[in-house]
Amino acid sequence: MKQGIFISYSDFDKNKVALIVKELEGSAKFYPIVIASNREALKPLAQKVADGIIHSKIVLPILTKNSVPTQWINQEIGFATALCKRIMPIVESELIDKLKGFIHKQIDLPYHYHSNEQDKSQEENDFIKQVRNLLADLEVGFDKLATTEELPEKTLFEKSLEQADKLNEELEFQTKRTSYLNSPDAVEVAKTKVLNMFADIEEKIKKLQEKKFHFGLEKEVHKPLFILKSEGFSFSIAWEQKFNNSNENAILFVRKWKGHLTKDSSAFYFPGDEPKMVSDNKYSFAEIEILNFVG
């Protein structure tokens, strides 16, 4: 089973990330985890980073003059340290004496390369050499990496952060959803869905009529309203909007009646024989799943 290598880096060092990813191509034992390439809708970046580190066996920070001052890379190293992950940095040689924090000059830093502003190809070659040395050492200890590790239980603070992220996601989702449902586009989509439903019912009724089943049918496209009647009962579906340009408070009424109902109330009934409602169901457009309404 392949093991993940989480690459921690500065955006200014993407070229070095690409070199590592290329070295891992075709590897039977390791695969790179690069969060910038792992986009998930409505998922906060901090959560993506945390998940990437959690699911990795190795954390590989690229420590350069670009990355060392950044907050992100230091937080990633700290989080990985808390999870007891194996941290194997590749360091710009000129920075070793200046390093502070979790990674510093007092610990063994065997994978370091020389920066070369005058000859970038030489710097790249030196960097690739260190990447290959690091991967070769990982190959030797692969069997130990493949053993199951137990992650420490999340702290109350971490759990509260997860809960806050979840609430923020839900709030953002509901805000976008409400905005869409009350947009002109959603009004048109709602009406189209109802009319398509009417057309589907009408097609089924025609097939039943061909088989000598008798049904009365009335409809009003502009409302829209649909009434089906047979054997002393009626079935009505009506889509009613409170506002012409919004689905707010719009309701789909689905009702069953005892007696024959007419759409314009023009029928004559003897007293006491008027259609009586047997069941009354209401559905809002917000309760119907809408594909691709976010984004």
pLDDT in tens, 220-249: 766 778 888 888 888 888 888 777 777 777
Which pLDDT score is estimated for 61?
94
Tell me what the pLDDT averaged over the chain comes to. 81
The residue behind tokens 């690229």 is: 62
Least confident piece of the model among 16-20, 94-98, 141-145: 141-145
Percent of the chain with pLDDT over 90: 25
- Is the per-residue pLDDT at 94 higher than 50? yes
pLDDT in tens, 169-195: 777 777 777 777 777 777 777 778 777
pLDDT in tens, 265-292: 666 677 777 888 899 988 876 554 433 3
Which pLDDT score is estimated for 47?
82
- pLDDT higher at 187 or 20: 20
- pLDDT higher at 273 or 109: 109
- Is the per-residue pLDDT at 7 higher than 60? yes
Over range 80-85, report the average pLDDT. 88
Residue 4 backbone dihedrals phi, psi, to 5 degrees = -85, 140
13: pLDDT confidence band, cut at 50, 70 and 90? very high
Which pLDDT score is estimated for 250?
80
- Is the per-residue pLDDT at 108 higher than 90? no
How many residues belong to the chain? 295
Model pTM?
0.49
CA–CA gap between residue 225 and residue 219 (Å, rounded): 5
- Is the per-residue pLDDT at 24 higher than 50? yes
155: pLDDT confidence band, cut at 50, 70 and 90? low
Question: Can you list the domains of the chain with their CATH numbers?
Answer: 3-151 (3.40.50.10140), 181-287 (no CATH)
Tell me the sheet residues that pair with 227. Answer: 218, 236
CA–CA gap between residue 292 and residue 295 (Å, rounded): 7
Structure tokens at 49: 């980073």
Which pLDDT score is estimated for 153?
65
pLDDT in tens, 38-80: 545 445 777 888 889 999 989 999 999 998 888 888 889 988 9
pLDDT in tens, 189-214: 777 877 788 888 888 888 888 888 87
Which pLDDT score is estimated for 204?
85
CA–CA gap between residue 90 and residue 8 (Å, rounded): 10
Q: What distance separates the 2 farthest-apart alpha carbons in the chain?
A: 101
Of 222, 239, 246, 242, nearest to 282 (Cα)? 239
